[in-house]
Amino acid sequence: MLTIKDIAKQANVSEGTVDRVIHNRGGVSKKTEEKILKILQDNNFKLNPIASALALRKKYVIATLIPKFDRENVFWESPYMGIMKALTEVESYGIQIQNHSFDQFDAATYLSGFDQLFQARPDVVIIVPMFINETKKIAKRLDGAGIPYMFLNIDLEGLGNISFIGQDSYKGGYVAGKLMCLSLKEGDECVTVQTRSNISNYHAIYKRMEGFNDYLESTGGNKIRNLDLKVDNLNDQETVKANLEAFLENNGNIRGIYVPSSRSSVIADCLDRAFHKKVKIIGFDTTPQNVSCMEMDQIQFLISQKSFNQGYEAVRMMSDYLIQKKTPLKRNYSPIQIIIKENLAFNNRNKMSYQRENPKNGKVGVGDRS
């Protein structure tokens, strides 16, 4: 779809100049106007009359509430970049984005971030419902104020969100269980590494673990036995390394490691080469750290959920809801894509294209971890 930004780039003018020509507002030289009109004609550009008319009368605000990201935890950078990519395509229709963030390990910051968001009274809200009980309080306030909202990445049932976009976490875990069984032989053991202090709060990881265990049980429970290892502070790599290697030495039949989060690279980096020769690691999401480990054959499988596309599509759907009154589907599932070293280069093309075009708009600072 040709956007006003694309036209402005081709014509070497500002987006505002293109907007004035499209809406016949004047104030543009004849030569520039003819240049823009020719580009419109060559690309068969058709202005959406509904969007145009509404954009002239009203501005809309979409507020987002997503976890922060940093250099060690970069998962949430990807949907954030998708959100910003979508903004470049919808801002000409009067759409504005207000981004708010929180620490995904601190429920208090989740509520305080929402308080800031709520005070601005946005038209719609896109929220990552990280904490279940706190999300119920947030949903009640949004319902009471009549502000429509959708969930991103994590699907909670029984609340009034108009839509959800993200992966089916249970099925993602189920697929991981199947990969583990195909990778190991009967009698081998695997270990699920929990990387959160309170797993019940993080719905997506809990469902991934549930799906993984259900697949193992569906095989009769005899082929592969799954153990559990809890790791609280992933930033203390020396402690993680000591605990992980001691666990593997004490359980000599372990041949697989399952990390139901985006942080499988932390586990991979803690293992010496001798352990990498013995175990297969399965994790989630193509973060730069995970990709690096996969390229070095330290991670064998990653399950991608196209998180960049999640952020992008969420904004597009809510924009259509505001401008064209088009209600999105209740559930919009992302693909369960199995990434191996051989197809790694073909993943995340939309995200990489956006990074090349906007090198400053996706730098670490607003939010991540999964």
> Could you tell me where the DSSP H helices lie in the chain?
4-11, 15-22, 30-42, 49-57, 77-90, 107-119, 132-145, 169-183, 203-218, 237-250, 264-269, 273-276, 288-295, 307-324, 349-357
Residue type, 90: V
Same domain, 180 and 226: yes
Same domain, 217 and 299: yes
Which of 113-127, 185-199, 246-260 shows the lowest per-residue confidence on average (mean pLDDT)? 185-199
Same domain, 177 and 161: no
Nearest-5° angle of CA 356, CA 358, CA 360? 115
Closest CA to 229 of 200, 267, 203, 272: 267
pLDDT above 60: residue 55? no
Pairwise CA distance, residues 177 & 331, whole Å: 24
Pairwise CA distance, residues 365 & 77, whole Å: 8
Same domain, 159 and 274: no
pLDDT above 50: residue 366? no
Domain that holds residue 154: 59-166+306-333+347-357
Pairwise CA distance, residues 170 & 260, whole Å: 11
Residue type, 356: R
Same domain, 175 and 156: no
Same domain, 137 and 197: no
Q: Is residue 31 part of a domain?
A: yes
pLDDT above 60: residue 256? yes
> If pLDDT is split at 50, 70 and 90, which confidence band does 351 have?
low
Tokens standing for residue 76:
């949430």
| pLDDT tens-digit series, residues 224-243 | 899 999 887 777 788 888 88
Kindly list the distances between the CA atom of residue 340 and the CA atoms of 57, 157, 179, 284, 286, in Å, as whole numbers in the listed order: 49, 32, 11, 12, 10
The mean predicted confidence, pLDDT, of the chain is 86
Same domain, 95 and 158: yes
pLDDT above 50: residue 16? yes
pLDDT above 90: residue 54? no
Q: Is residue 104 part of a domain?
A: yes
Q: Is residue 316 part of a domain?
A: yes
Closest CA to 72 of 246, 234, 299, 298: 234
Residue 365: what pLDDT? Answer: 40
| pLDDT tens-digit series, residues 85-120 | 999 989 888 899 999 999 988 899 999 999 999 999
Residue 209: what pLDDT? Answer: 94
Q: Is residue 212 part of a domain?
A: yes
Closest CA to 6 of 114, 98, 118, 85: 85
Same domain, 99 and 75: yes
Q: Is residue 102 part of a domain?
A: yes
Q: Is residue 184 part of a domain?
A: yes
Note whether 134 and 159 are within 8 A (CB).
no
Q: Is residue 362 part of a domain?
A: no
Closest CA to 128 of 108, 107, 151, 148: 151
Q: Is 132 helix (H, G, I), strand (E, B) or coil?
A: helix
Same domain, 110 and 158: yes
Residue 177, domain CATH: 3.40.50.2300
The dihedral through the CA atoms of 113, 118, 120, 122 has a sign that is: positive
Instruction: Give how many domains the chain has, as a whole number.
Output: 3
Distance, C-alpha 91 to centroid of its chain: 21
The 10 Å CB-count burial string (b at 16+, else e) for 64-94 is: bbbbbbeeebbbbbbbbbbbbbbbbbbbbbb
pLDDT above 80: residue 357? no
* DSSP3 helix / strand / coil % (the chain, rounded to 5): 50, 15, 35
Residue 197: what pLDDT? Answer: 54
Pairwise CA distance, residues 32 & 36, whole Å: 6
Q: Is 228 helix (H, G, I), strand (E, B) or coil?
A: strand
Q: What is the mean pLDDT of residues 1-20?
A: 82
Q: What is the mean pLDDT of residues 68-77?
A: 82
Strands 301-304 and 337-339: antiparallel
| pLDDT tens-digit series, residues 132-152 | 999 999 999 999 999 999 999
Distance, C-alpha 246 to centroid of its chain: 34
Residue 221: what pLDDT? Answer: 56
Residue 85's DSSP bridge partners are: none
Same domain, 175 and 159: no
Same domain, 67 and 175: no
Longest dimension (CA), the chain: 79
Same domain, 30 and 125: no
Note whether 348 and 286 are within 8 A (CB).
yes
Q: Is residue 186 part of a domain?
A: yes
